[in-house]
Amino acid sequence: MTRVATIGECMIELRHTDAETLKLGFGGDTLNTAVYLARLGHAGSVQVDYVTALGDDAYSEAMLASWRAEGVGTDLVARLPGRLPGLYIIRTDKRGERSFTYFRSAAAARDMLRDDRDARLAERLSGYACVYFSGVTLSILDDEQRRKLMDVLDRLRGSRTRIAFDSNYRPVGWPSAETARDWMTQAWRRCDIAMPTLDDEQRLFGDADVEACITRLRRLGLGEIVLKVGGEGSLVLTHDVAEPTRVPPVKVTKVVDTTAAGDSFNAGYLYGRLTGQGPVASAGLGSRLAAIKIQHPGAIIAREVMAGLEKI
Which residues are known to be catalytic?
263
Could you tell me how far CA 69 lies from the centroid of its own chain? 20
**257: DSSP letter:** -
Q: How far is 109 from 186, CA to CA, in rounded Å?
A: 21
Could you tell me how far CA 84 lies from the centroid of its own chain? 21
- 305's CB contacts (< 8 A; 6+ apart) are 292, 296
By residue count, the chain amounts to 312
The H or E element spanning position 133 is strand 130-134
- Cβ burial of 29 (10 Å; 0-12, 13-18, 19+) is buried
Q: How far is 67 from 152, CA to CA, in rounded Å?
A: 24
Which residues sit opposite 72 in a β-bridge? 48
